[in-house]
Structure 1
Amino acid sequence: MRTYGQYCPIARGAEIFAERWTPLIIRNLHLGCQTFGEILQGAPGLSHTLLAQRLKQLERLGIVEVTPKAYGRGHRYLLTPSGDDLFEVCKSLGEWGARWLEIAPENLDPYVALWSMGNALRPDRLPDRRVVIQLDFTGYRPHERYWLIIEHTEVEICKTYSGMDEDLFITADAEAFVKWHAGQLSWAEATRDSRIQLHGPSWIAKAFPTWNSRSMFAHISHNAATTTTS
């Protein structure tokens, strides 16, 4: 690993934190991902090989603790107190990003919004039965279809038909859905002009937006950064 060769704590901390994918791995661990597959699922584009390298590095540095699973093969990955402190750096970076950075077209990945939503559901609002939701996303990216399966507090995102009957069908503009989850649009704003349409029993359609406690940064007021030219 390259270093800055400086004693400055910012330089030494950046050598770890600024490694590609490391902040997202720390985020996923904080959100409750404990297995290799769970961490990988929340980081589309991250390879198995690179994740294994990063986890070994974080374990060596005392940021992640690795223990065998209680049952079955594999390991559990947990943040140590050092890792919990490092997440606070991730949180500060996220707050800055939410306040000053625009959500650009290349950021509009509805899968990431669904994954994040699955980690932010409100258990007290969920129905006491399994619910299967088909979601079709349109907009900047090619058409994408997912199935969201919610049963009690367990959530599964499927990219292929699950074989279960759907309870709710949602067609959504990816930008409206992502910005609603991110807290930049209210549900009323997101559904305006039919940008998000729900088809199914009225009780599910009305309840759906109340299940999502939204991004941990949804409370941050967004300020468009200004660009100056000379």
Structure 2
Amino acid sequence: MIIRNLHLGCETFGELLEGAPGLSHTLLAQRLKQLERLGIVEVTPKALGRGHRYLLTESGDDLFTVCVTLGEWGARWLEVAPEHLDPFVALWSMCNALRPERLPDRRVVIRLDFTGYRRHERYWLLVEHADTEICKEYPGLDEDLFVTADAEAFVKWHLGQLSWAQAIRDSRIQLDGPSWLVKAFPTWNGRSMFAHIKPDRRIGKTPAAIT
């Protein structure tokens, strides 16, 4: 996750931590120190303010290609395990790969309610000037679109394992808002880099998947 997040452009400790749910502050600090010792990550002071910037070295870029290969293998051969159905991870990944040319030219606030994953979770997505921000608390702005989604369906849509049409037809994803926004929302999606890989049909007929 750390290598992926660095490749996606996360440079601060906070950005890396936000994109790695389940990874503690202490463990992330330890991993970054280890990656720095191995010459995979370069750490430099911020130009302004306190803190550091974390960047992949040439070795780190090469390691990312290894991660991609492992991801492709997993997308083809492994089932999505229940612990990997965190909708925040899918939402975070989606926001780091949105198609800016398809985003509206005005501010849009989207409320997302996820069900079926541990507990009910609610987030707000702010879209403005081709930039996005995920809020865990109500941002105090008028909401333009309401999305209610089964967490598994949302994650599998992002991964390319479930079509938007099928999720809507089965009422696993529901949208309420202006028709133009309802139609536009799924077209913004920066799908997973592995969304083009079709799972092998033998998945589920083999022993428990490796997580």
Short-chain TM bin = over 0.9
Query: Which residue of 2 is the match for residue 116 of structure 1?
Result: 93
Point out where structure 2 has 5 or more consecutive residues left out of the alignment.
none
SS at structure 1 position matched to 2:53: strand
One-letter amino acid of the counterpart of residue 189, structure 2: N
Residue 124 of structure 2 is aligned with which of 140, 143, 147? Answer: 147
Question: What is the letter of the counterpart of residue 101 of structure 1?
Answer: L
Q: Deviation per CA, 1:4-54, whole angstroms, max 9, x where unpaired?
A: xxxxxxxxxxxxxxxxxxxx1101101111100000000011111111111
CA drift of 1:101 comes to 0.7
Normalising by structure 2, we get a TM-score of 0.93
Deviation at 1:140, TM superposition (A): 4.2
Q: Is the 8 A contact 2:95 2:190 kept in 1?
A: no
After superposition, what is the alpha-carbon deviation per residue over 1:195-229, rounded to whole angstroms, capped at 9, x for unaligned? 1111111111110000002100000111143327x
| Matching residue's letter, 1:220 | I
2:44 to 61, 67, 71: 67
- For residues 1-230 of structure 1, the aligned pairs below 5 Å read 24-223=1-200, 224-225=202-203, 226-227=205-206
User: How far 1:86 sits from its partner (Å)?
Assistant: 0.3
Flag structure 1 segments of 5+ consecutive residues without an equivalent: 1-23
Name the TM-score, length of structure 1 as normaliser: 0.86
Aligned identity (percent) is 81
Give the direction of change, closer, same or farther, for the CA distance of 1:57–1:106 in structure 2 (3 Å limit): closer
Q: Which amino acid aligns with 2:163?
A: S
Alignment root-mean-square deviation, CA: 1.2
- Which structure has the bigger radius of gyration? 1
Change (3 A) 1:153 1:67: farther
Give how far 1:174 is off.
0.9
Q: Return the offset for 1:153.
A: 3.0
Any runs of at least 4 consecutive aligned residues in structure 1 with deviations exceeding 6 A, and if so which?
Answer: none
Give, in angstroms, the shift of residue 68 of structure 1: 1.3
